[in-house]
Amino acid sequence: MSETLVIAIDAMGGDNAPEAVIEGVARVAKKDKSVFFFLFGDEAKIKKLADANRLPDDRYKIHPTTDVIKGDAKPSIAVRSGRESSMWKAIMSVRNGYAKAIVSAGNTGALMAMSKICLGTLSGIDRPAIAAVLPSAAGPIVALDLGANAECNSQNLIEFSIMGHVLHHVLFQTEKPSIGLLNIGSEETKGRDEIREAASVLKGLEGKINFVGFVEGNDICAGKSNVIVTDGFSGNVALKTIEGTAKFITSMMKKTVKHSLFASIGFLIAKPALRQLKKKMDPRMYNGAMFLGLNGISVKSHGGADSFAFACAIESAIRMARNDLCNKIKNELKHVMDVDVPDISGEE
Amino acid sequence: MSETLVIAIDAMGGDNAPEAVIEGVARVAKKDKSVFFFLFGDEAKIKKLADANRLPDDRYKIHPTTDVIKGDAKPSIAVRSGRESSMWKAIMSVRNGYAKAIVSAGNTGALMAMSKICLGTLSGIDRPAIAAVLPSAAGPIVALDLGANAECNSQNLIEFSIMGHVLHHVLFQTEKPSIGLLNIGSEETKGRDEIREAASVLKGLEGKINFVGFVEGNDICAGKSNVIVTDGFSGNVALKTIEGTAKFITSMMKKTVKHSLFASIGFLIAKPALRQLKKKMDPRMYNGAMFLGLNGISVKSHGGADSFAFACAIESAIRMARNDLCNKIKNELKHVMDVDVPDISGEE
């Protein structure tokens, strides 16, 4: 049996906290017997929910906290005045080595800022990034940055490439994940300076990293590369555009069915197969944005996550922790970058 | 009856030229009796196709050309050595006032570069942009820039907003089209400097322009604003991400149907309704990227367009020409910006 792994949970963050959070914890506890949970938040509420969800007493410890970071709180203010919050305390338990990862469905900006302050940035990383797993025609892909850095230089993009490479390997055991740089054309002359610069450096790392060149917006869902690397602005736009397009198409189909008797009957017959498709595409399975480049594992669940989605975010955190993601990133940075990559940014 | 409008057609550009092009011209000619076509290209081929498609002799004039701009030609080289091409000659007929608009399915970069050189940039516009019409849950929207400018400053974004405002009004008779700036959050502190700067200027233009603030990737297909304004990098990524996502979902559905007897039967019954949905969402209807900010109308059809799609691009060009788009943009620029915006381009 594997060693017990401690995961810290911000039980009070998110729209459906603490109910969906504790139910999510119970789901994971049932499947994975070697995880122990630190639950930060309202003791009485958590205890009651743990019992209701049959989370055994010996699988968790409640760390009572009184303060909760509000969903609309400014990160800068949350960081200063939120030191008694469930979020801060949960992150601190990772910093102090008591837990191996923190999962929260709370305020994204606050979680990012607090994680950065408490855990610190990995040596060799200029800027941490937000990564997520997305479905594609060729299987799950990793995309980053999804919003931490609205602007990036070539050095950032190179570091994101290495972190994405390690993450895809850790999550899906891919031997040499292919890395694509998001651009607006596949020709070498296209796009912004920093992207072309990053591409020329990544090309030079052949053998160490499987860089496949530029990819475009339509290549994301096609799964042209295992990892999609881009700045936080374009990444965020792309991610939300995928969500919006999927929602639009689904709602158009629903409208069609509603307005046609034949379509209604047809869809009723097709329902079992469609349900399977829906299951396969379920966005809840891809829940969990991962902050990469920190000295510790911090995962952000969607604020509106239900217990199933929250459990998926915990499971990502577990996989990252069990596979020692942070050290692997550190080692890979050393291995990939030691020879020929100067610090281009010139910044600290 | 309305005055005869002359439209110049690059008959040789695109994967399916000249066949799909001339068939597209014939489609439009049949519906709209007051349009006359200048067809640039291989005289013998065009004549044969015109006859085959029953395009009446008195509805077109062939301008024989011998050279064709290749799809993979570098714009800079095309501009220098392509002066005898169907594309260049067709654009020149607009510049010289013989035609009111040019439509081509050829090399995008070359068409943009040639259009810029031949037609010139509108006074008051720093950088032309590529715009397109997209379907959304709230009806057709206009999005720009979709790839002409990988980087933009706040002034560019403001000019795009005004051009998008005029284009939506001209194409769909919207009285006060709502304008949204693409960003990665709706809070005022989010995003890049140039976007926040542009937003603060646009807010000051209240009454003249209906600026509704920041929109995000998921708001595009939701149709949260009539016009989506962004830089050419994010715009291109978003556009291609929409295409990729739609393709992915459609192919997943097809796979599901193929692998399930019940789903096959169900979809067979639902087919008439689904066909209607497909018709409503047909990307061919949205064919035609429009170069805005030039002293003349230039429309780029998709390279792989069939005759129906090419006809749609022509129809957009006709609407733009009939509604005197360029002068309207010029006047609107004056009207909206009169107080504090000097002529940046210095060109006529």
Query: Tens digit of pLDDT for each residue in A262-317?
Result: 778 887 888 887 788 788 778 888 999 999 999 999 999 999 999 999 999 999 99
Which chain A residues are Cβ-neighbours of B140 within 8 angstroms? none
Tell whether B40 is covered by a domain. no
Nearest CB to A269; choose among B151, B266, B274: B266
Give residues 296 to 315 of B whose Cβ lies within 8 Å of A.
Answer: none
Q: Report CA Rg, chain A.
A: 21
Reference B160, options B348, B37, B337, B346; nearest CA is B337
Report d(CA B127, CA B144) in Å as an integer.
Answer: 12
The verdict on A67 and A152 lying in the same domain is: no
Q: What is the DSSP string of B34-52?
A: TEEEEEEE-HHHHHHHHHH
Mean pLDDT across chain A: 92
Q: Are A328 and A319 spatial neighbours (Cβ–Cβ below 8 Å)?
A: no
A206 shares its domain with A236 = yes
* Domain at B188, CATH number: 3.40.718.10
Would residue A63 be called left, alpha or beta, if left means φ above 0 and alpha means ψ between -120 and 50 degrees?
beta
Average pLDDT on A94-117 reads 96
In B145-293, the DSSP E strands lie at 178-182, 210-215, 227-229, 289-292
A5 touches chain B (CB under 8 A): no
Q: Looking at the structure, do residues A25 and A150 belong to the same domain, yes or no? A: no
| Same-domain status, A301 and A251 | no
Inter-chain touch B273–A252, beta carbons under 8 Å: no
The parent domain of residue A161 ranges over 126-292
Q: Which chain A residues are within 8 Å of B180, Cβ to Cβ?
A: none
Residue B219 within a domain: yes
For residue A191, what pLDDT is reported? Answer: 84
Same domain, A243 and A136: yes
Q: Is A275 exposed, middle or buried (0-12, 13-18, 19+ CB in 10 A)?
A: exposed
* Residue ranges of E strands in chain B: 5-10, 35-41, 60-64, 101-104, 129-134, 141-144, 178-182, 210-215, 227-229, 289-292, 297-300
Tell whether B260 is covered by a domain: yes
Token pair for residue B239?
A: 């556009």
Q: Are residues A182 and A34 in the same domain?
A: no
Of A39, A263, A135, nearest to A47 (Cα)? A39
- A70 and A189 in a single domain? The answer is no
List, for residues A52-73, the tens digit of each pLDDT value: 999 999 999 999 999 999 999 9
Interface contact B262-A272, CB threshold 8 A: yes
Q: What percent of chain A has pLDDT over 90?
A: 80
Q: In this complex, is the C-beta atom of B251 within 8 Å of any C-beta atom belonging to chain A? A: yes
Average pLDDT of the residues in A212-234: 97
* Yes or no, beta carbons of B236 and A184 under 8 Å apart: yes
CB contact under 8 A, B239 and A216: no
What are the tokens at A183?
A: 């651009």
Nearest-angstrom CA–CA distance, A16 and B109: 50
- B256 close to A (CB below 8 A): yes
Of B249, B259, B267, the CB nearest to A249: B249
Cβ <8 Å between B240 and A252: no
CB burial class (10 A; 0-12, 13-18, 19+) of residue B200? exposed
B154 inside 8 A of chain A by CB: no
Minimal Cα–Cα distance from B178 to chain A, Å? 19
- Name every chain A residue with its beta carbon within 8 A of the beta carbon of B238: 217, 237-238, 241
Shortest alpha-carbon distance between residue B176 and chain A (Å):
24
- A274:B265 CB<8 A: no
Q: What is the pLDDT of residues B270-319, one digit of tens each?
A: 788 778 878 877 888 899 999 999 999 999 999 999 999 999 999 999 99
Residue B133 falls inside a structural domain: yes
Task: Judge: B273–A266 Cβ closer than 8 Å, yes or no.
Answer: yes
Q: How many Å apart are CA B51 and CA B44, to the nearest integer?
A: 11
pLDDT at A206: 87
Helix (H) or strand (E) holding A175: none
A274 → closest Cβ in B137, B256, B277: B256
- Alpha-carbon distance of A132 to A105, in angstroms, equals 15
Residue written as tokens 């919207």? B174
Mean pLDDT in residue range A196-202: 95
Tens-digit pLDDT profile for chain B (348 aa)? 468 999 999 999 999 999 999 999 999 999 999 999 999 999 999 999 999 999 999 999 999 999 999 999 999 999 999 999 999 999 999 999 999 999 999 999 999 999 999 999 998 899 999 999 999 999 999 999 999 999 999 999 999 999 999 999 999 999 999 999 999 987 777 789 999 999 999 999 988 999 999 999 999 999 999 999 999 999 999 999 999 999 998 888 888 878 888 778 887 887 887 788 788 778 888 999 999 999 999 999 999 999 999 999 999 999 999 999 999 999 998 888 764 444 444 443
Distance CA(A122)–CA(B104), nearest Å, equals 52
The residue with tokens 């938040």 is A41
pLDDT of residue B253: 84
pLDDT at B76: 92
The structure tokens listed for A292 are 């990469």
Please tell me whether residues A48 and A106 are part of one structural domain: yes
A146, containing H or E segment: none
Chain B CB within 8 Å of residue A71 CB: no
Predicted pLDDT of residue A342: 45
Q: Do A252 and B281 touch (CB under 8 A)?
A: yes
Nearest-CA distance A188 → chain B (Å) = 12
Residues 84-143 of A with CB under 8 A from B: 136-137
Helical residues (DSSP H) of chain A, grouped into ranges: 19-31, 43-52, 75-81, 86-95, 108-119, 154-172, 193-203, 217-222, 232-258, 261-281, 307-322, 325-337
Q: Which of A233, A242, A272 sits opposite B245 (nearest CB)?
A: A242
Q: Are residues A161 and A263 in the same domain?
A: yes
Phi first, then psi: give them for residue B289, nearest 5 degrees: -90, 135
Nearest-Cα distance to chain B for A135, in Å, is 10
The reply to whether A141 and A284 lie within a common domain is yes
How far is it, in rounded angstroms, from Cα B86 to Cα B63?
8
Pair (A288, A143) in one structural domain: yes
Q: pLDDT-based confidence at A2, cuts 50/70/90?
A: low
Residue of B192, B219, B265 with shortest CB distance to A150? B192
State the total domains in chain A: 2
Q: Which residues pair with A49 in a beta bridge?
A: none
Q: Which residues of B10-30 are buried (b: 16+ CB within 10 A; e: fewer)?
A: bbbbbebbbbbbbbbbbbbbe
Q: Answer whether B242 touches A (CB < 8 Å).
A: yes
Measured distance CA(B264)–CA(B260) in Å, rounded:
6
- Tens of pLDDT along A169-191? 999 999 999 999 999 987 777 78
Count of alpha carbons within 13 angstroms of residue B210, beta-carbon side: 16
Q: Measuring CA to CA, how many Å separate A89 from each of A95, A300, B188, B198?
A: 10, 15, 29, 40
Q: Is residue A324 part of a domain?
A: no
Does some domain include residue B239? Answer: yes
DSSP state of A11: T
Would the CB atoms of A243 and B273 count as touching at under 8 Å? no
Say which of B222, B237, B260 has its CB closest to residue A184: B237
Together in a domain, A278 and A171:
yes
Whether B319 is in a domain gets the answer no
Q: Is the pLDDT of residue A139 over 80?
A: yes
ipTM of this predicted structure: 0.89
Please give, rounded to a whole number of angstroms, the shortest distance from the CA of A189 to a CA of chain B: 10
CA distance A137 to chain B (A): 6
Q: Tell me whether residue A336 is in a domain.
A: no
